[in-house]
C-alpha cells in the first residue's frame, strides 16, 4: 500500500520534503476525550494495550483529530519484560510495578528471549491499524532501550535515583551485560515482528539515559541500542535518549537515521555534536503548550527556524502532558505545517 503522506519517512531518510513532518510523543490518546471514552470501557491500561481493535482505534484518533503526520502504535515499553517472563501491573497514580524483579542468576536464567510471536497482541494491533489507516500516514513502531527496560526489571518500579539498577553496574557488570543482551535480543525480535506486521519506522525510547555518566552510558546503554540499530535494516530507526546530554556525540555514531532531542538540548549544539548525516527530531518544551495560542505559534516558529528546513521531524521534547488542551497541541501541529510550508 502506497502512503499518501510519507513526509516523515522521507525526512527520516534525509530526503528533502515540501514541509517539516510533525507528530507528538504520547499522542496516541492521553489528552483526547475520545481516548478516555475508549479507555473507560476497559478495566485498565494494560487491557487496552492487549486489545488490538481498541489499541488500533486510539492509535488512529490523533491522526483524525490532531492531523499528525504519523501514527504511533498504542502500546507500552514494558511489554518486553512481560514477554520475557516478567509480568507487570499498572497502578493508577503510581505507574508500573513488577511484583518480581531480577536479582539473582536464577532470576536471569528463568527469563527467555522473547521471540517474534510472543507479542501477538501488538502485531495484531499494528495490522488492524495499518488496514484502517489505509495509507494515510506512516505507522511508527517502538520499544524501550535495553537500559531503560533493565532499570524497570531490576528496580521493579520507577525511582528517583535508580540506585539499585546503577549498583548492579558497579557490583555485577557481567550479570548486567548478560541481562542487557537478552533484552536487546528480545527487542530486535519484537521490532522485527512490528515491521513484518506493518510498522513503517521504529523508535527506541531510552527514558533513563540521563542517569548514567557518559562512560557507563556507552558501555551499558549505547552498546545495546547500537546492536538493535544494526539489526534493524528494513525501516528507518529513531533513537530518543532523554537526558543524554553528555553522550550526544556517541549517539551520532549509532547506525540510526534519526536522533530525538529533549527540550533541554540546545539545537545548534546538538546538530554540531550529532553530525549532519542524522535527521533530528524534537524538541519543543512540552510545557510550552500551557501558554496561549500566540506564544505557542511563536515558539514553534523559533524552533523550526533553528532546526532549518531539512532533516527535521518536529515534535515535543518529551511526551505531551496529560492535562494539555488538545486544541493547543493542534495549534502546534498546524503551525509546524503552515510555517514550514512557506518557501
Instruction: Compare residues 138 and 243 and give the one whose CB is closer to a copy of itself.
Output: 243
- Residue 131 catalytic? no
Q: Which of 36, 41, 253, 295 binds a copy of itself (CB under 8 A)?
A: 295
Q: Binding string, 250-289, against a copy of itself, x = CB under 8 A?
A: -------------xxxx--x---------------xxxx-
Q: Which one of the spans 119-127, 128-136, 156-164, 194-202 is the region binding a copy of itself (CB under 8 A)?
A: 156-164
**Positions in 204-243 near a copy of itself (CB under 8 A):** 210-214, 216, 243
Residue 82 vs residues 114, 118, 138, 178, 241: alpha-carbon distances, Å: 9, 9, 27, 18, 22
The reply to whether 249 sits near a copy of itself by the rule CB under 8 A is: no
- Residue 110 bears catalytic tag: no
Binding-site member from 43, 134, 171, 294 for a copy of itself (CB under 8 A): 171
Q: Which of 69, 76, 185, 206 is catalytic?
A: 76
3-state secondary structure of 282: strand
Contact status: 321 vs a copy of itself (CB under 8 A):
yes
For residues 142 and 281, what is the distance between their CA atoms, to the nearest angstrom?
Answer: 15
All three cell numbers of 7, joined, read 513526509
Quick one: 2 or 292, whose CB is closer to a copy of itself?
292
Report the C-alpha gap between 287 and 263 in whole angstroms: 10
Residue 152 known to be catalytic: yes
H or E element in which residue 116 lies:
none
Measured CA to CA, the distance from residue 40 to residue 155 in angstroms comes to 30
Which of 1, 170, 277, 343: binder of a copy of itself (CB under 8 A)?
A: 170
Choose between 190 and 208: whose C-beta lies nearer to a copy of itself. 208
Surface-to-core class of residue 16, CB atoms within 10 Å of its CB (0-12 exposed, 13-18 middle, 19+ buried): exposed
How many residues of this chain bind a copy of itself (CB under 8 A)?
34
Beta-carbon contacts of residue 100 (< 8 Å; ≥ 6 apart): 86, 107, 156
Hey, is 71 helix, strand or coil?
Answer: strand
Catalytic residue check, 10: no
Which contiguous run of DSSP H or E holds residue 98?
Answer: none
Q: Which is nearer to a copy of itself, 33 or 160 (CB)?
A: 160
Per CB under 8 A, does 43 bind a copy of itself? Answer: no
Helix axes 267-274, 293-307, angle to 10 degrees: 30
255, 291, 293, 330: which one contacts a copy of itself (CB under 8 A)? 291
Which residues make up the interface to a copy of itself (CB under 8 A)? 158, 160-161, 163, 166-167, 169-171, 210-214, 216, 243, 245-246, 263-266, 269, 285-288, 290-292, 295, 318, 321, 323
Give the residue numbers marked as catalytic. Answer: 26, 30, 39, 76, 152
Amino acid at each position: 500500500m502506497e502512503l499518501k503522506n510519507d513526509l516523515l519517512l522521507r525526512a527520516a531518510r534525509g530526503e528533502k520534503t515540501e514541509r517539516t513532518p510533525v507528530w507528538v510523543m504520547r499522542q496516541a490518546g492521553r489528552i483526547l476525550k475520545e481516548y478516555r471514552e475508549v479507555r473507560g470501557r476497559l478495566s485498565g491500561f494494560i487491557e487496552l494495550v492487549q486489545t488490538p481493535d481498541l489499541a488500533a482505534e486510539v492509535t488512529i484518533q490523533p491522526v483524525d483529530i490532531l492531523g499528525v503526520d504519523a501514527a504511533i502504535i498504542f502500546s507500552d515499553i514494558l511489554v518486553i519484560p512481560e514477554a520475557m517472563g516478567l509480568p507487570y501491573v499498572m497502578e493508577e497514580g503510581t505507574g508500573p510495578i513488577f511484583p518480581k524483579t531480577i536479582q539473582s542468576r536464577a532470576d536471569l536464567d528463568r527469563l527467555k528471549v522473547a521471540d517474534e510471536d510472543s507479542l501477538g497482541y501488538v502485531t495484531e494491533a499494528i495490522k488492524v491499524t495499518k488496514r484502517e489507516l489505509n495509507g494515510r500516514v506512516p505507522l511508527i513502531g517502538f520499544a524501550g532501550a535495553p537500559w531503560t527496560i533493565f532499570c524497570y526489571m531490576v528496580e521493579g518500579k520507577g525511582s528517583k535515583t535508580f540506585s539499585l539498577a546503577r549498583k548492579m553496574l558497579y557490583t555485577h557488570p557481567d550479570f548486567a551485560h548478560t541481562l542487557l543482551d537478552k533484552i536487546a535480543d528480545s527487542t530486535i525480535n519484537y521490532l522485527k515482528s512490528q515491521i513484518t506486521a506493518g510498522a513503517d519506522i521504529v523508535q527506541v525510547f531510552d527514558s533513563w539515559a540521563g542517569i548514567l555518566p557518559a562512560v557507563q552510558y556507552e558501555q551499558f546503554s549505547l552498546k545495546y541500542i547500537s546492536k538493535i540499530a544494526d539489526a534493524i535494516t528494513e525501516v528507518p530507526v529513531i533513537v530518543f535518549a532523554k537526558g543524554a546530554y553528555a553522550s550526544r556525540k556517541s549517539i551520532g555514531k549509532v547506525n540510526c537515521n534519526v536522533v530525538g532531542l529533549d527540550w533541554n538540548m540546545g539545537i545548534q549544539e546538538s546538530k554540531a555534536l550529532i553530525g549532519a548525516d542524522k535527521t533530528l527530531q524534537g524538541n519543543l518544551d512540552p510545557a510550552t503548550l500551557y501558554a496561549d495560542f500566540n506564544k505557542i505559534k511563536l515558539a514553534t516558529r523559533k524552533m523550526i527556524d533553528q532546526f532549518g528546513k531539512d532533516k527535521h521531524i518536529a515534535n515535543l521534547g518529551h511526551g505531551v502532558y496529560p492535562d494539555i488542551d488538545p486544541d493547543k497541541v493542534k495549534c502546534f501541529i498546524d503551525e509546524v505545517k503552515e510555517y514550514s510550508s512557506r518557501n
